[in-house]
Amino acid sequence: MQKTNESQLQIRLITKQEQYAVPDVPLSVPQIIESKSLNDVVNQLLKESNSDFLKPRDFDFLVFGQLLRVPLLEHLQEHNVSTEATVDVEYIERTPAPEPEDSLLHDDWVSSIHTTEKCILTGSYDYSVSIWTTHGTIVTSLKEHKNIVKAVSWLDETDISKGFVSVSHDLTGILWAWESDADKVFPRAVLRGHERGIDSVGVSPNSLRLASGGWDTNLKLWSTSLDEEIGEPAQKRIKGVNSVATQTPLNTLKGHKETISSINWVDNYVVCTASMDHTIKFWDAELCGIKTEIVGQKAYLGSSWSPLSNTLLATSADRHIRQYDPRSTEGTLCKTTFTSHTSWVSSVAWSRYDEHLFMSGGYDSNVKLWDTRSPKAPLYNLQGHQGQVLAVDWSHKKYLVSGGSDNCVHIFKNKSVNQ
């Protein structure tokens, strides 16, 4: 029998945010109620139960672990739940929309970004590596590379004086020193060992190791120290042009068949690589072997590991973002698929402070902020880019940063955290 618009169902409003708790009693609401009307109900109950509650709040609603994005009846039908049952509806304070903060204009496409509290590191197709303040001021721009710079990374986000690394299609990586007091940046070592262009780089959590990957299909491990002696093949300190040391890799790990597009360190001993050969591999960096492999249907373009949820997000040459749990013993390793982009999704970055939040960028010029509990719709679309988005970064909780083929880096301020 068709339900009418007046049909009611019983819900119980619950929350883990005690400051917003309302009486825990069942309520009758229309079956077709949506988030907006539920928000009005919660605010009215808060006003009735707490005379000090003056300013209405915006809430989101979790039903069976997913954010409510359709009428409640439709949500229940999707989860095969009877309308006769009393439904627990958990409400949480809504993540506010990030606010546009600044735009950093480069001379060519922006391929890579890594943010700290005070500085933004960028790599560009004009062969340059640049440092900016988070307020949009250029600190320095360096052109030691002889081809496009594909990836950059600080060696230690909490101590930028330890320097950074860049990798390029000129077959080299550069370890950079930064004497911030003297505003002096210079190469301290050139990484040589790849036979084709380098696409990706990652730094271990303890900052002692690097991993790089590129078009020669090899994953190479390096030391960030110039003084360390580690067996064979030992690092070489070869004095070259301008007396910059040359370093060779500690190990070369073979297994991919196409370029390695993205690298994440799971911990100090496990490296995760995503490749255009349709695979994701987890490597033991000590034993130099493959621990786990995930086989997909398309080329992987980007990935991001979350130590909060111990899951991997991966983007590929389709419109989808997939969340993988490599430890899962229940069926597929792919736990959720997020679909909203209209073209290839190039990059993705987990939030460092909330296990449910992440951002993505795509060839459709869109940057999106997601909650893993809402796979069919992002929380927000962040506007600004006029070309393909090639890189996104959320390394510092205050700033969501993106760059792309419009030669721009866009900075969005996260309003969810205390400034």
By DSSP bridging, strand 110-115 and strand 87-93 are unpaired
Mean pLDDT, residues 61-88 taken together: 93
Q: Express each pLDDT in 271-288 by its tens digit.
A: 999 999 999 999 999 999
Domain ranges of the chain: 8-93, 99-413
Contact present, 150 and 123 (Cβ < 8 Å): yes
Burial pattern 156-172, b for ≥16 Cβ within 10 A else e, equals bbeebebbbbbbbbbbb
Show Cβ contacts of residue 55 under 8 Å, excluding neighbours closer than 6 positions: none
- When the pLDDT of each residue in the chain is averaged and rounded to a whole number, the result is 91
pLDDT band at 233 (very low <50, low <70, confident <90, very high): very low
Q: Tell me how far apart the alpha carbons of residues 195 and 192 are, in angstroms, rounded to a whole number.
A: 9
CATH 1.10.3720.10 fits 99-413, yes or no: no
Question: What's phi and psi for 228, nearest 5 deg?
Answer: -75, 140
User: If you search the block for the tokens 């621990």, which residue do you land on?
Assistant: 291
User: Nearest Cα to 254, choosing from 220, 278, 284, 279?
Assistant: 220
* Length in residues, the chain: 419
What is the per-residue pLDDT for 240? 40
Show Cβ contacts of residue 158 under 8 Å, excluding neighbours closer than 6 positions: 116
Mean pLDDT, residues 190-213 taken together: 98
Q: Express each pLDDT in 304-320 by its tens digit.
A: 999 999 999 999 999 99
CATH 3.90.1280.10 fits 8-93, yes or no: no
247's tokens = 């370093």
Residue 252 has pLDDT above 80, yes or no: yes
DSSP-assigned states of every residue in 3-47: PPTT-EEEEEEE-S-GGG------EEEETT--HHHHHHHHHHHHH
- Under the phi-then-psi rule, with left for phi > 0, alpha for psi from -120 to 50, and beta for the rest, what region is 290? beta
By DSSP bridging, strand 320-324 and strand 311-316 are antiparallel
Mean pLDDT, residues 22-30 taken together: 91
DSSP 49: H
pLDDT band at 332 (very low <50, low <70, confident <90, very high): confident
Q: Tell me how far apart the alpha carbons of residues 271 and 4 are, in angstroms, rounded to a whole number.
A: 55
Does 8-93 match 99-413 in CATH topology?
Answer: no
